[in-house]
Structure 1
Amino acid sequence: MKTIKLILLILLITIQQSHAQCTTANKKEISTLINTYIKSVIEKDSTAFYNLFNDGPVTWCAALKDGSQAKEIERKGAKNAGSNYFSGSYKGFFRSLFSYKTTEDKFDNIQIIEDGTVASVTLDYSFWADNKMTNWGNKYLGLIKRDGKWKITSVIYSLELIEYFKQPALKERQKLTVPGATQ
Structure 2
Amino acid sequence: MRGAIFIFVLVLSFSKVNAQGFEKERAEIDSIISQFSQCISNKDSVSFLRLFTPNSFQWIGVVKNKTNQVVQEHVKSKTNNYFFNDYAVFYKFLGDKGKQEEIFENIIVTNDDVIGSVSFDYQYWNNGKITNWGKEYWTLVKMNGTWKIVNVVFSIAE
The answer to whether the superposition gives a TM-score over 0.5 is yes
Alignment of 1:133-172 (within 5 A): 133-161=130-158
Cα offset, 1:53, TM superposition: 0.5
Q: For the residues of structure 1 that align with 2:12 and 2:117, how far apart are their CA atoms? A: 27
User: Where does structure 1 differ by over 6 angstroms across 4 or more consecutive aligned residues?
Assistant: none
Q: Which residue, 100, 103, 108 being the options, matches 1:103?
A: 100
Cα offset, 1:111, TM superposition: 0.6
Structure 2 equivalent of residue 165 of structure 1: none
Cα offset, 1:104, TM superposition: 0.7
Cα offset, 1:149, TM superposition: 1.3
TM-score by length of 1: 0.82
Q: Please identify which structure carries the higher strand content.
A: 2
Segments of structure 1 that go 5 or more residues without pairing to the other structure are: 162-183
Answer yes or no: is 1:44 the counterpart of 2:43: yes
Q: For the residues of structure 2 that align with 1:104 and 1:119, how far apart are their CA atoms? A: 24
Structure 2 residue identity aligned to 1:116: D
Structure 1 residue identity aligned to 2:89: G
Cα offset, 1:4, TM superposition: 3.2
Q: Secondary structure of 2:51's match? A: coil
Segments of structure 2 that go 5 or more residues without pairing to the other structure are: none
Structure 2 equivalent of residue 117 of structure 1: 114
CA RMSD of aligned residues (A): 1.2
Percent of pairs identical after alignment?
Answer: 29
Q: Secondary structure of 2:157's match? A: strand
